[in-house]
């Protein structure tokens, strides 16, 4: 089954060529009904994708990873999205026993002390819950955009994720921030107001800051670390 799905990458890329993001999502929802999911962090781009899914009533399950350390503004957008679209976005949480042991042994802010501790925290709060959320599915929709990182510039819109054994599709990969914001404004889509305050990539409150003029898009994430270590493990190329 895995090899069959994996080998369909070129066929699907051909079928998706020339389609708008809305059309592509509709095609994939029909093709993978019952096995297609979208992970949202309630960022600008994720809110646009949620709007495309929910306004078309597509059979794509939407979930989020609640790390327990998110901004209040993020929870507000989550609530507003549920209310505006009459939906219930599914939540996945860290394993209770594992996170309790980690915090007890290392302390609540251990991620500042070493890259190893920070990646351990990310694994418990994000990577392992993601693995549970993706289990049993064949296609994962993401909000990755090439503009966010030089490493994403050569990504195909549809790729095979070897780690999670799943096809991964990035509908807004080549969209600009201006394009994303235009759709948000035109459709009255709820969005995280931290974006208006210089926050570009928004994660846990303890690990995210605003980006200064001229700084890299990812400069606000884990700002105390060297650039080479700035990944959490959710995406191999992020």
> Does residue 104 lie within any of the structural domains?
yes
For residue 201, pLDDT over 60 is answered with: yes
CB 61 within 8 A of CB 90: yes
How many separate domains does the chain show?
1
> Does residue 223 lie within any of the structural domains?
no
How much is the pLDDT for 228?
A: 54
> Does residue 222 lie within any of the structural domains?
no
For residue 229, pLDDT over 60 is answered with: no
- Looking up residue 169, the CATH number of its domain turns out to be 3.40.50.620
> Does residue 204 lie within any of the structural domains?
no
**Which single residue is written with the structure tokens 């190893």?**
116
**Domain of 155, in residue numbers:** 2-197
Quick one: pLDDT band at residue 6, thresholds 50, 70, 90? confident
* Token pair for 142: 């993401």
How far CA 17 is from CA of 21, 46, 202, in Å, comes to 10, 21, 30
Dist CA 27 CA 31 (whole Å): 6
> Does residue 232 lie within any of the structural domains?
no
Quick one: pLDDT band at residue 232, thresholds 50, 70, 90? low
**Which single residue is written with the structure tokens 């809110």?**
47
213 vs 124: which has the higher pLDDT: 124
Range with lowest mean pLDDT among 154-168, 197-211, 219-233? 219-233
Range with lowest mean pLDDT among 7-11, 14-18, 162-166, 198-202? 7-11
For residue 111, pLDDT over 80 is answered with: yes
For residue 197, pLDDT over 50 is answered with: yes
Q: What residues are labeled active site?
A: 232
> Does residue 136 lie within any of the structural domains?
yes
> Does residue 167 lie within any of the structural domains?
yes
pTM higher than 0.85 for the full model? Answer: yes
Give DSSP secondary structure letters for 146-164. Answer: GGG-GGGTT--SEEEETTT
How much is the pLDDT for 238?
A: 40
Tell me the percentage of the chain whose pLDDT exceeds 70. Answer: 92
> Does residue 218 lie within any of the structural domains?
no
How much is the pLDDT for 151?
A: 67
What would the mean pLDDT of 142-168 be, rounded to a whole number?
86
């Amino acid at each position: 089954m895995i090899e069959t799905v994996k080998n369909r990458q070129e066929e699907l890329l051909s079928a998706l060529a020339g389609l708008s993001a809305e059309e592509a999502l509709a095609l994939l929802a029909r093709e993978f009904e019952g096995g297609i999911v979208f992970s949202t962090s309630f960022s600008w781009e994720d809110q646009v994708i949620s709007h495309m899914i929910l306004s078309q009533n597509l059979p794509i399950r939407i979930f989020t990873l609640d790390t327990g350390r998110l901004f209040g503004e993020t929870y507000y957008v989550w609530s507003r999205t549920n209310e505006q679209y009459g939906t219930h976005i599914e939540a996945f949480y860290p394993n209770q026993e594992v996170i309790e042991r980690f915090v007890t042994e290392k302390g609540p802010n251990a991620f500042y002390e070493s890259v190893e501790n920070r990646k351990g925290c990310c694994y418990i709060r994000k990577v392992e819950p993601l693995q549970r959320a993706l289990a049993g599915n064949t296609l994962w929709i993401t909000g990755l955009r090439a503009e966010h990182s030089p490493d994403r510039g050569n990504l195909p819109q549809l790729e095979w994720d070897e780690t999670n054994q799943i096809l991964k599709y990035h509908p807004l990969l080549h969209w600009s921030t201006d394009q994303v914001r235009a759709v948000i404004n035109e459709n009255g889509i709820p969005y995280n107001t931290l974006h208006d305050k210089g926050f570009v990539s928004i994660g846990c409150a303890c690990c995210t800051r605003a980006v200064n003029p001229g700084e890299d898009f990812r400069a606000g994430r884990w700002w105390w670390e060297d650039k080479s270590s700035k990944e959490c493990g959710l995406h191999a190329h992020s």
